[in-house]
Amino acid sequence: MGKLVLIDGNSIAYRAFFALPLLTNSSGIYTNAVYGFTMMLLKVLEEEKPTHMLVAFDAGKTTFRHQDYQEYKGTRQKTPGELAEQIPLVREMLDAFGIRHYAIENYEADDIIGTLARAGSGKDLEVLIVSGDKDLLQLVNEQVNVLLTRKGVTETERYDRKAVADRYGLTPQQIIDLKGLMGDASDNIPGIPGVGEKTALKLLKQFPTVEEIVDHVSELPGKKLREKVETYRDQALLSKKLATIYTEVPLDLQLEDLLLAELDVNRIADFFRKVEFKTLLDRLKKFSGADEEETKTVCEEQDAIESVTVFGEEARDEWEPFLKQSGLALFVEMTGENPHHSDVIGLALSDGEKQLYIPIEEAMDWQAFREYLADGERHKVVYDVKKTSLALKRKELDVAGLSFDVLLAAYLLDPSESQMELNEIVKRAEAGYLPSDEEVYGKGAKRRQLQGEELEKHLARKARAIYQVYPVLDRQLQEAGLDALMFDLEMPLAAVLANMERHGVLVNRERLDELGVELKRSMDLLQEEIYELAGVPFNINSPKQLGEILFDKLGLPVIKKTKTGYSTSADVLEKLAPQHEIVEKILHYRQVGKLYSTYIEGLKKEIGSDGKIHTQFNQTVTATGRLSSTEPNLQNIPIRMEEGRRIRQIFIPSEPGWYMLSADYSQIELRVLAHISGDANLQKAFKEGKDIHTQTAMDVFGVAEDEVTSLMRRQAKAVNFGILYGISGYGLAQGLDIPQKEAREFIERYFETYPGVKKYMDSIIAQAKQEGYVTTLSGRRRYLPKIHSRNFGERSFAERTAMNTPIQGTAADIIKIAMVRLDRQIRERGLKGRMLLQVHDELILEVPESELPAMQELVRDVMEHALELSVPLVVDVNCGKNWYEAK
């Protein structure tokens, strides 16, 4: 038996449009409805495997039903222009798939579907109707099922006769009787006023049709109901007629016209490229039925490299002219992701036509290649410039002229996609095809397991892919105005970070061990105090035992329960803390325990043979442009507790007689806000060197400086920083533990005091909605596809992101600019001091004592003038024998 799938085109397009954010392609054409429709179509093709298919559309606003009732569908809102302009694209997409679509004057899509469903079931075809409209359930029979979309367009629910009976207690045919009684607001079918679904279902259990109900009105329960049915009997009968799908539409097509031919994957791929559905290209091979060769065509040369030259000593003279070129793509493969703990496997070069694989041993021994790497005039295009330079340096291979990084370029073009793999970059740029590492190496497999020709070809493919994608990304950077950010900031910064990582930061192992003993002692003391307050020893780390102590034994109020018992999460304990001394002790115990496991035991494992920790600084992870630190994360050492701050004592200079120097921007994000918003009051406070939190408290509460209490300042501080992240009245109320009404009033007074800030917040959201992205002062972009979302939560998050990104991103750019300039100044002046760490708004250096005065002056000057704002940037500079003392 074949299968006929009939799709309600208008319904699915409408649902897709409102389910997805208002997406556009690079030409500004709206595509969200087309994308959602395509996703649904792929799901149906893949899961249902139809032999026949048709998508039905409404031909116009007027149908034969308007002859009976002029107000039919009269209350429907006008189709949004952004949706209407996508319907032709939906039809074009269906043409690409070879799927027939159809509309006929005076009839609705439902009528076309009903007519074909009847014809299909009469020809012994299994029929599946796909729609978001429950009216179509009336067509269900032994051969006809309905797939109703639920959330969005890809989550569906299948209805056969049993499912209709389970949901409504009705036969499918009675769906029209249900509509006759209760009406349908979406179609402006009136029904009987005051009769809802519940009453209608009760009536249909008593009498199976509208006709029988109105004929037996005297037998109906309740005087009011009888009066309603009697009064509106004709309206009920008309409503049933309007709701009935007409199944004898005069169609000028036959079922044979709906046969699905084999999909033309190249035609579909062309359409996907046109509308920029890059992520859908690789889905074609899952259901297309194309053989391997056709799939390769869709992916544009899955593996066009038939052979690759493997360098050997006898070929040195032959390949030396190849190395004279500038602009070759260079790829370096390592055994793992961390360049400080991985070894180099091999290298590959490509000029787009010829690929050369070089085993690492040969690379180290080939003098012409060493000279090529070190020659800054011969430019090299790479994936991950920082990792490439670190990997080569590990093998004592000097490298210069790394002129373009496809990873950094891809990140700048779309910072929401962090640390993109090379194959994903190539796919998004439509610059060919590259299999992923997982496809080649296997999931979780070590790269050393791949040897010989397979490894050589894969690295050669990567080098060629870099060469192919480079001009595409370079052009896109220029078109987006991001080329200066790439070449003047991010590329030079990568070299600075590589040097910082390579050098590392020395650890005082003895002090680390001492801190471990101190934290253990603190935990033991806290444990004894907790046992004493509880009156009995118990396992503090066991949520079950802790819950029994707090709620059963001590009688504290239960705030939240889990499937396994009482919740003892941090947020629960923080709410309970004022009620019993034991809770504060438990929270402290947990914090100290985490310090011990993460920063005592954890850091011990990260110390290298040189006694140093070599953290990785990630440039392509955060959406705002901030750097992050991993393996280990040295940006996240807790500093609110004294025990946490003391962890910094273990980081010391690597040379005797040297000092650690800390330079920290003061309230940089608030200063950026003052500049961007142009608010006169905020700028005045910073220009006059006022304490901004005290000043805000004075302005908001209307008090003199000596009348500002610590509570007022704390509340002002919470609002100052909360405003940066679009804090709501609810969020502020939670943070300050005050009523929401009071929190909302506080925010209102803040905006009255700083009206420029409110104006900025409103204007940046409007700009984001118009352009689809926001920028920092340096031009860094962040795209916000959900700024038009119909989902309140998604839209609100996008709006908060729009407000914060220009501020946080500009602050990130400022310290990056400072790092690049400071590195250059240190080298030009021949100073020995060096940068070690970057922690958000703070730079950590190690400096010989003789250079301290000069370095303090230089660091302050460079950081405070990294970017000229309308308010001064202020940097706090301190030094000491370890990071703790310097801070």
Closest by alpha carbon to 71, among 176, 246, 182, 188? 188
Tell me how far apart the 2 most distant CA atoms of the chain are, in Å. Answer: 106
**DSSP structure class, residue 550:** I
- Separation CA 317–CA 338 (nearest Å): 35
Q: How confident is the model at residue 618 (pLDDT cuts 50, 70, 90)?
A: very high
* Band of residue 721 on the pLDDT scale cut at 50, 70, 90: confident
When computed from its CA atoms, the radius of gyration of the chain, rounded to whole angstroms, is: 34
User: DSSP assignment, residue 485?
Assistant: I
On the question of pLDDT at 684 being above 70, the answer is yes
Same CATH topology for 309-504 and 514-613? no
Residue 855's pLDDT is what? 97
Q: How would DSSP label each residue in 623-649?
A: TTS--EEESS--S----SSHHHHGGGG
What is residue 733's predicted lDDT score, i.e. its pLDDT?
A: 76
Looking at residue 244, what DSSP letter applies? S
Q: Are 470 and 329 in contact (CB under 8 A)?
A: yes
Q: Which helix (H) or strand (E) holds 847?
A: strand 842-848
350 - beta bridge partners? Answer: 329, 355
CA distance 729 to 738: 10
Nearest by Cα to 333 from 419, 403, 422: 422
* Residue-level pLDDT at 405: 96
Q: Which has more pLDDT, 87 or 560?
A: 87
Residue with tokens 């070809």, as numbered in its chain = 457
Q: Which is more confidently placed, 316 or 39?
A: 39
Q: Which fold has domain 514-613?
A: Taq DNA Polymerase; Chain T, domain 4 (1.20.1060)
Please report the pLDDT score of residue 28 as a whole number. 64
Retrieve residue 764's tokens: 């940046």
pLDDT band at 301 (very low <50, low <70, confident <90, very high): very low
CA distances 129 to 102, 120, 246, 475, 478, Å, are: 15, 11, 15, 46, 48
3-258 under CATH 3.40.50.1010, yes or no: yes
Model confidence pLDDT, tens digit, residues 619-652: 999 988 999 999 899 988 888 788 889 999 999 9
The DSSP secondary-structure symbol of 704 reads -
pLDDT at 193: 84
142-154 CB burial, b ≥16 within 10 A, e <16? ebbbbbbbeebbe
Section 394-409 average pLDDT: 94
Peptide bond connecting 632 to the previous residue in cis, omega within 30 degrees of 0: yes
Other Cβ atoms less than 10 A from the Cβ of 271: the count is 20
Band (pLDDT 50/70/90 cuts) for residue 292 is very low
Please tell me the distance from the alpha carbon of residue 610 to that of residue 782, in angstroms, as a whole number: 40
Nearest CA-CA partner of 586 in 601, 599, 600, 569: 569
CATH for 653-679+757-887?
Answer: 3.30.70.370
pLDDT score recorded for residue 298: 42
Residue 442 clears pLDDT 80, i.e. is over it: no
Q: What is the pLDDT of residue 300?
A: 43
- CA–CA separation, 153 vs 41, rounded Å? 9
Helix axes 668-677, 680-687, angle to 10 degrees: 140
- Between 274 and 78, the more confident residue is 274
Q: Is 152 strand, coil or helix?
A: coil
Distance (Å, rounded) from C-alpha 475 to C-alpha 486?
Answer: 12
Rounded Cα gap, residues 172 and 129, in angstroms: 14
Which tokens in the block code for residue 207? 């009498």
Is the pLDDT assigned to residue 290 strictly greater than 50? Answer: no
The alpha carbon of 328 is separated from its chain's Cα centroid by a whole number of angstroms, namely 33
Number of residues written out for the chain = 887
pLDDT of residue 282: 63
Look at residue 450 in the predicted model and tell me its pLDDT: 56
Where is average pLDDT lowest: 583-597, 696-710, 787-801?
Answer: 787-801
Most confidently modeled range among 142-156, 289-303, 749-763:
749-763
Written as six digits, the tokens of 782 are: 């962040």
3-state secondary structure of 30: strand
d(Cα 81, Cα 765) in Å, to the nearest integer?
Answer: 22
pLDDT, tens digit, 9 for 90 and up, residues 357-389: 999 988 998 999 999 999 999 999 999 999 999
| CA 680-682-687 angle, 5° bins | 90
The answer to whether residue 293 scores a pLDDT higher than 50 is no
Q: How many CB atoms lie within 10 A of CB 476?
A: 18
Residue 671 has, within 13 A of its CA and on its CB side, a CA count of 25
Q: Say which range, 93-107, 568-582, 586-600, 650-664, has the weakest mean pLDDT.
A: 568-582
Tell me which residue has tokens 């040379």: 655
Q: How far apart are CA 213 and CA 221, in angstroms?
A: 11
Show Cβ contacts of residue 439 under 8 Å, excluding neighbours closer than 6 positions. Answer: none
Q: Which run of H or of E encompasses 131?
A: strand 126-131
- Residue 793: what pLDDT? 64
**Cβ distance 351 to 322 under 8 Å?**
yes
Looking at residue 26, what is its pLDDT? Answer: 65
The fold of 309-504 is: Nucleotidyltransferase; domain 5 (3.30.420)
Determine the Cα–Cα distance for residues 258 and 709; give it in Å rounded to an integer. 78
* CA 311 – CA 316 distance, rounded (Å): 8
pLDDT higher for 342 or 79?
Answer: 342
Residue 618 tokens, joined = 């990630």
Q: How far apart are CA 708 and CA 661, in angstroms?
A: 34
pTM (2 d.p.): 0.68
Q: What pLDDT score was predicted for residue 302?
A: 43
Strand residue runs (E) in 476-587: 505-507, 561-562, 565-566
For the cut 70, the answer to whether the pLDDT of residue 444 exceeds it is no
pLDDT in tens, 725-773: 777 776 777 677 777 788 888 888 888 888 999 999 999 999 999 888 9
DSSP category for residue 327: S
* Residue 605 CB-density burial (10 A; 0-12 exposed, 13-18 middle, 19+ buried): exposed
Per-residue pLDDT at 755: 93
- The amino acid present at 185, given as its one-letter code, is A
Contacts of residue 882, Cβ cutoff 8 Å, sequence gap at least 6: 508, 511, 648, 649, 650, 651, 652, 660
**Tell me, what's the pLDDT at 27?**
63
**For residue 780, what pLDDT is reported?**
93
Residue 728 CA to residue 281 CA, distance in Å, equals: 41
The mean per-residue pLDDT over the stretch 573-583 comes to 89
Count other Cβ atoms within 10 Å, centred on residue 435.
16
Hey, what are 600's tokens? 């005592």
DSSP string, 597-622: IIIIIHHHTTB-TTSEE-PEEESSS-
**Residue 127 pLDDT more than 90?**
yes
The answer to whether 623 and 416 are in contact (CB under 8 A) is yes
Assigned token pair, 84 = 């209407």
Each residue's pLDDT tens digit, 192-231: 888 888 888 888 888 888 888 888 888 888 888 888 778 8
Enumerate the domain spans of the chain.
3-258, 265-298, 309-504, 514-613, 653-679+757-887, 691-753
pLDDT score at 299: 44
Q: What is the pLDDT of residues 653-677, one digit of tens each?
A: 999 999 999 999 999 999 999 999 9
Q: What mean pLDDT comes out for the span 862-874?
A: 96
- Strand ordering across the sheet containing 505-507: 612-613, 505-507, 651-652
- Report, as an integer, the average pLDDT of 158-169: 90
Beta bridge partners of 328: 380
Q: Which stretch of DSSP H or E encloses residue 465? A: helix 452-479
Say if residues 628 and 622 touch (Cβ distance below 8 Å).
yes
Q: What is the mean pLDDT of the chain?
A: 87
CB 352 within 8 A of CB 467: yes
Cβ atoms of residues 91 and 275 within 8 Å: no
Taking only the tens place, the pLDDT of each residue in 512-536 is 999 999 999 999 999 999 999 999 9
pLDDT band with cut points at 50, 70 and 90 for residue 314: low
Q: Of 23-32, 301-310, 477-486, where does mean pLDDT reach its minimum?
A: 301-310
Q: Tell me, what's the pLDDT at 287?
A: 53
The HSE-up count of residue 789 (CA atoms within 13 Å, CB side) is 15
| Of 139-143, 418-422, 490-494, minimum mean pLDDT range | 418-422
Q: Which residues contact 555 (CB under 8 A, 6 or more apart)?
A: none
> How many other C-beta atoms lie within 10 A of the C-beta of residue 579?
13
The most confident of the ranges 43-57, 59-73, 74-88, 719-733 is 43-57
* pLDDT, position 304: 53
Partners of 309 in the beta sheet? Answer: 356
Mean pLDDT over 442-463 rounds to 74
The Cα 399–Cα 407 span in angstroms is: 18
Residue 637 corresponds to which amino acid?
A: I
Here the contacts of 136-142 (C-beta below 8 Å, separation 24 or greater) are 136/8, 136/110, 136/245, 137/164, 137/172, 137/175, 138/172, 138/173, 138/175, 138/176, 138/243, 138/244, 138/245, 139/113, 139/114, 139/172, 139/245, 139/247, 140/164, 140/172, 141/172
